[in-house]
């Protein structure tokens, strides 16, 4: 099964959602998990 390719606009939307979650007090790994981002993709070594 091929991997899904996201458009740049979709990536920006997801990253902004993660940013909002972190601004509301969530940790980066929690925000990544809730938005469906792998922490490795976000640039973290959790």
Q: Model confidence over 1-46: pLDDT tens digits?
A: 677 788 999 989 999 999 999 999 999 889 989 988 877 666 655 4
pTM, entire model: 0.70
Interhelix angle 28-35/8-23, rounded to 10 degrees, is: 140
Q: Supply the pLDDT for residue 20.
A: 96
Q: Supply the pLDDT for residue 2.
A: 74
- Determine contact, residues 19/5, Cβ cutoff 8 Å: no
Q: What does the block give as tokens for 9?
A: 């606009």
Q: Supply the pLDDT for residue 24.
A: 96
Q: Supply the pLDDT for residue 22.
A: 94
> 43 in the Ramachandran plot: left (φ > 0), alpha (ψ -120 to 50) or beta?
left
Q: Supply the pLDDT for residue 36.
A: 85
């Amino acid at each position: 099964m091929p991997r899904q390719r996201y458009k740049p606009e979709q990536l920006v939307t997801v990253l902004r959602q993660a940013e909002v979650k972190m601004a509301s007090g969530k940790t980066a790994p929690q925000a990544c998990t809730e938005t469906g981002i792998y922490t490795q993709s976000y640039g973290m070594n959790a």
